[in-house]
Amino acid sequence: MKRFLGKLIGFCALQSAILGLLLWGYQEDRYGFCETIIAKHYLSETVSGSRIFFMGGSNVAYGIDSPLAAEQLPHRPINLALSALHGLDFMLMESLDVAREGDIIVLSLEYEHFFEDLTSVELIVRTASWRPEMLRNVGWTQARVILDQGLKFICDTVKHAAKRQRQGEVDAPKSPEEILAHQGFNIHGDFVGHHGKEPTFEFQPTRRTQFQENTAYVARAIEKLNQFARQCESRGVAVVLAYPPYERGYFEERKEQIAWLDKRLRQELAIPIINSPSEMAYESSHFFDTAYHLTAEGKQIRTRQLVEGLYTNLAIKSKQTETAIARRSNSSVKASVRSGKGSVNGDYITAK
């Protein structure tokens, strides 16, 4: 027995030493989408009133001008964008995590999500090391792979927890605003780190079809989205789908496959679609470094189109419209007070 205990203690000591070496030499993750998820969740939890969430891959991070949307919508915009490599399942579960009654979710998924599984389990592990509770949003298939990377996950989590606890470290931002700014995001969650920089994108004809029509895979994606829509409806949350911005040259190369997908979605999807693929095919000059990443000017164009689509498809009044209605209503009630048909009660005016 003593011999067994001695071996067990020795084994544990060896494992502890290995873990210590890994923690000591580990280089922390600097992938912006991973660290900022903490700040975005904080914003979601602390913002009062109705909110509108923009969810998708990096086309959303680079492609939404939330301050512009905030000027035109009565909802507080929050850009929840992840990387496309987080995968469809993870994005939908993350949206459900933060949504509450009265909210709107705008899904803008890269086209690839409908043709293949983009999920990178390694990226999910990185992200969850910043916010471990996110692991509840992974499926069993992904969970098995994550278990194989358990030691790395432990190292990441311990290092990031230690970083958040350390005091006085210059490059360890504490507040959500600092975390977002540190990674090139604004306080709404939009990526703005490329503003003012020279675009590097150039269209290069591929002469091949990237998207392969996969009836079975599209059917599964549509069913996941329809299930998501039912869950949102049960919570009093509105959800719409918006096609992503896409560089016109690549759009023309893949036009037939995109048209095939659009037809399937409009026939089978239980979520309103607020734009069309052709409307979101922009010129190369509006893209920064990929066929999905808009420049500052491009994102303003895209945001205005989204706002218009939301007005058309949902019962949303613009801030200007609501203000005008409130002013007319207030003037009417004040007139009734002057005529003796109403009364003033403290700060409120009520009609008799």
Instruction: State residue 21's pLDDT score.
Output: 43
Angle, vertex CA 322, rays to CA 242 and CA 105, nearest 5: 25
Considering the domain architecture, whether residues 310 and 335 belong to the same structural domain is answered as: no
Considering the domain architecture, whether residues 309 and 325 belong to the same structural domain is answered as: no
Considering the domain architecture, whether residues 297 and 335 belong to the same structural domain is answered as: no
Instruction: State residue 28's pLDDT score.
Output: 46
Q: And the tokens for 219?
A: 């059917």
- Tell me which residue range forms the domain holding 330: 321-351
Considering the domain architecture, whether residues 347 and 280 belong to the same structural domain is answered as: no
Amino acid symbol at 132 = P
Per-residue pLDDT of 331-352, as tens digits, reads: 443 444 344 444 333 332 233 2
Considering the domain architecture, whether residues 346 and 309 belong to the same structural domain is answered as: no
Which pLDDT band, with edges at 50, 70 and 90, does 217 fall under?
very high
Considering the domain architecture, whether residues 215 and 123 belong to the same structural domain is answered as: yes
pTM of the model: 0.76
Considering the domain architecture, whether residues 199 and 333 belong to the same structural domain is answered as: no
Separation between Cα atoms, residue 46 and residue 302, nearest integer Å: 27
Per-residue pLDDT of 98-107, as tens digits, reads: 999 999 999 9
Instruction: State residue 339's pLDDT score.
Output: 43
* Within a domain: 16: no
The CATH number for 163's domain is 3.40.50.1110
Amino acid symbol at 276 = S
Considering the domain architecture, whether residues 74 and 195 belong to the same structural domain is answered as: yes
> Are the CB atoms for 312 and 305 separated by under 8 Å?
no
Residues found in the chain: 352
* Within a domain: 277: yes
Average pLDDT over residues 3-17: 58
Domain count for the chain = 2
Three-state secondary structure along 35-98?
Answer: HHHHHHHHHHHHCCCCEEEEEECHHHHCCCCHHHHHHHCCCEEEECCCCHHHCHHHHHHHHHHH
Per-residue pLDDT of 149-171, as tens digits, reads: 555 555 555 555 555 555 444 44
